[in-house]
Amino acid sequence: MKIPTIAKHGTIFCTSGSHKASAIFLDKELVITSGFILCDNERCVEQLSNAVKHSPVVEVDKYAELKDFAQLDFRVVCMHENVLREQPARAYQIVYSRRVKECLETMLEGLHVCINGDMKPIRSYATLFASIVILSTNLSKRIARDHIKALLERLQPSSSEGVQLLDKVVTVSTPFGDESFFNTLHVGHVSNIFGEQDCVLLLDTHLSSGCQGGAVYNCQMKMQGILIGATFMYRNENVSFPLAINMEEIGSIVLNRRNLCQSLSTALPAQAFRSVCMIDSQGCWGTGCAFELNGKQYIISCSHVLATDNITCVFNDRTIIHPKLVYKNPIFDSAYDIALMEATFEAEAKSSNWYCQLANYIPRIGQRLYAVGFPVFKSLANGSIFKPSIIPGRATKYSEGILFTDCSIQCGQSGGPIFDENGLLVAIAVSNFKSSLDNLIYNCHNMCVPVKDIYSILENYSKTRDKASLAGLQADWNVRSKWKLKPPVILNKL
């Protein structure tokens, strides 16, 4: 896709700090970036936190307590006639979102971010993540506030371009803040929208540190958001969680105007979305899916999600049930990692089209698939909130007993459904891949149980209700070996 002429992109850093980030040129002089550019300047972090308590829009040179901030020497790098050029800049205005800060502090509690080699709780820097900084490269000219408003208004999506789940997006940023990767494009989707008034977007793009301050565009190349982070740590494991502030949120603050976002997916059949549930089993939690087979209703998930037989399932319409456990693999961490429960809705029965249907086929390599679940945070299905992420991907490999996909799957999505484009349940997400070489988790290399390979077992049980028939859900030695990633036999013809 062609980058729009309305905004150029670049990198930005402060001469007194070590952090580099991405930036967007609003015009020839004005630049916008994430407040996280200040992460390694504790004094300025404190000053900014105090300033935004009084107003969500702060003009730096008019606020006495921001004197140190106003004097910071920023440098902006942009491309001019195929040559990278560096020029000085000064901070002029801060735009702060209380809603984004509250979202990060509540829904995303537990995330940590790396700052100068140390892991810091995201809560300590929530104000920076919730702020954008507008700078000017013209150090001698005063910029009128109305001029900034006019430029930001040009970037606002129209009411017909409001963000929806599964919208295709293009991000422009500079990975690691390294100009060797200057203005890199990534194509992905909006996989979740959360926070008060849909202020935060979660993407499925493969971003890295340094993306903060980069842009998120829709297919019409209208700006949909500004990137605020991508890689974090959660319980000592790396997680990919590309976040952006919704442009609607920025517009509501600066322009005092908001278009209503349509956050309900239209690309995935409704019954597929309705059938997904959050599963809680005495503090151990994951994702599940309700399906119907031969007139019987069940919930399927992973065995390792169920710590006990005390199970609670929460659905999109706030229905809460306590299903009866029918089968759980008696051997922990062994294929197939499947648990089956009876779906009994005591308050009111659900119609057949409320449940998803099983796919009795193996997806072809490259076929579009959708992983649905609750990555990382149980708070995505808590109280009045029910925000499962919908993450597109493709089937990358199939071997008997295992389907591999490149959907981004992380902790909390265990037991979650993998749907095809018709909303048929084709697989159950089990795990991603953790390398023993670098101790990192690779969320886009994951392993799922193909429904086709267990379909006959489930079908037989739905007809006979003979629990002995479910013993077939314990895979044979060859399949178990594959799941444990034991190397295959290689014939040596030397």
Strand-pair category, 441-450 with 402-405: antiparallel
Q: How many CB atoms lie within 10 A of CB 374?
A: 29
Digit-coded pLDDT (tens) for 453-494? 999 999 999 999 999 999 999 999 999 988 888 877 777 666
pLDDT at 201: 96
Domains located in the chain, CATH noted: 8-254 (2.40.10.120), 270-483 (2.40.10.120)
Measure the CA–CA gap between 318 and 382, rounded to whole angstroms: 10
3-state SS string over 184-213?
Answer: EEEEEEEEEEECHHHCEEEECCCCCCCCCC
Strand-pair category, 168-173 with 284-293: unpaired
**Residue ranges of the chain whose pLDDT lies below 50:** 1, 3-6, 259-266
Q: How many CB atoms lie within 10 A of CB 318?
A: 10
Residues near 317 by Cβ (< 8 Å), separated by ≥ 6? 274
User: Of 440, 429, 389, 435, whose CA–CA distance to 204 is shortest?
Assistant: 389
User: Of 415, 451, 412, whose CA–CA distance to 430 is shortest?
Assistant: 415
User: Of 184, 246, 238, 180, whose CA–CA distance to 211 is shortest?
Assistant: 184
157's tokens:
């999506």
Residues 311 and 341: beta-carbon distance below 8 Å = yes
Residues 369 and 272: beta-carbon distance below 8 Å = no
- Cα R_g (the chain), whole angstroms: 24
Residues 246 and 261: beta-carbon distance below 8 Å = yes
3-state secondary structure of 252: helix
For 109, phi then psi, to 5°, come to -60, 135
Find the DSSP H helices in 107-162. 126-129, 145-155
Q: Give 284's strand partners.
A: 281
Residues 275 and 354: beta-carbon distance below 8 Å = yes
Find the DSSP H helices in 243-361. 247-254, 270-274
341's tokens:
């429960």
Residues 171 and 227: beta-carbon distance below 8 Å = yes
Instruction: Sort residue 150 into left (φ over 0), alpha (ψ -120 to 50) or beta.
Output: alpha
The half-sphere exposure of 247 on its side-chain side, counting CA atoms within 13 A, is: 23
Per DSSP, 62 falls in state G
3-state secondary structure of 99: helix
Digit-coded pLDDT (tens) for 13-53? 999 888 899 999 988 899 999 999 999 888 888 888 888 98
Q: Give 33's strand partners.
A: 133
